[in-house]
């Protein structure tokens, strides 16, 4: 589906604006950005940058969503929601009831980063001593821990990231076959119910 010229212009402007604001927000929020932070930026609250960044990102997604709705990437009606729902409810009892034992040693370090974020101790880009692990999951867990137990919050953050993996696998399967409908569902069912030792 071809987009209108105005839609392409607004999409480009929204994407560029979101990228620029995200860069400024990263310099303002993360401790490692302190040497690059001018005095005027130090005075700006992080939330005042985060809200327009999310707004422009949402606008960019809305303007580009039509490209993913039709044709080959449409998939079976409700297929993506089905596999996401199955993956969520299959793993939810373990995350909720056994959240403390659900964490690995790397996960525990990320949990400590989340606690530090929630308490305002520091804002790290990477988990200490684990340079391959960023702090995005820790940021999500810190927000969730405002409304639930910390270990459950981290387990829920892990589950949400797993749902993103399931959605990505489903979408990838849609691009691999001439008739991808059932291939995508099979890949989604596999991801929803596969044991952790298979995916690790």
Instruction: Determine the Cα–Cα distance for residues 194 and 86; give it in Å rounded to an integer.
Output: 11
Decide if 187 contacts 173 (C-beta within 8 A). Answer: yes
Close Cβ partners of 38 (under 8 Å, ≥ 6 residues apart) = none
Asked whether the whole model's pTM tops 0.85, one would answer no
Pair 177, 183: CB distance under 8 Å: yes
pLDDT tens per residue, the chain (200 residues)? 556 777 788 888 999 999 999 999 999 999 989 999 999 999 999 999 999 999 999 998 888 876 555 544 556 668 889 999 999 999 888 887 766 666 666 667 888 899 999 998 999 999 888 878 889 989 999 999 898 888 888 889 989 999 999 999 998 888 876 665 788 888 889 998 887 666 65
pLDDT at site 197: 66
> What integer pLDDT is reported at residue 46 of this predicted model?
93
Q: With CA atoms as reference, report the closest residue to 26 among 10, 41, 11, 5.
A: 41
Give pLDDT, residue 45. Answer: 93
């Amino acid at each position: 589906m071809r987009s209108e010229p105005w839609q392409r212009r607004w999409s480009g402007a929204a994407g560029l604006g979101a990228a620029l604001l995200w860069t400024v927000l990263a310099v303002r929020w993360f401790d490692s950005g302190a040497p690059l932070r001018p005095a005027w930026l130090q005075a700006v609250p992080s939330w005042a940058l985060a809200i327009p960044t999310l707004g422009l990102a949402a606008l960019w997604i809305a303007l580009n969503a039509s490209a993913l709705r039709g044709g080959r990437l449409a998939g079976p009606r409700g297929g993506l929601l089905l596999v996401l729902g199955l993956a969520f409810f299959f793993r939810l009892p373990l995350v909720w009831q056994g959240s403390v034992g659900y964490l690995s040693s790397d996960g525990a370090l990320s949990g400590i980063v989340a606690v530090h974020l929630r308490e305002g101790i520091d804002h790290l880009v990477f988990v200490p001593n684990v340079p391959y692990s960023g702090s995005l999951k820790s940021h999500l867990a810190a927000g969730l821990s405002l409304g639930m137990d910390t270990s459950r919050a981290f387990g829920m953050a892990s589950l949400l990231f797993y749902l993103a993996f399931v959605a990505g696998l489903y979408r990838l399967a849609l691009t691999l076959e001439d008739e991808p409908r059932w291939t995508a569902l099979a890949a989604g069912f596999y991801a929803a119910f596969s044991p952790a030792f298979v995916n690790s």
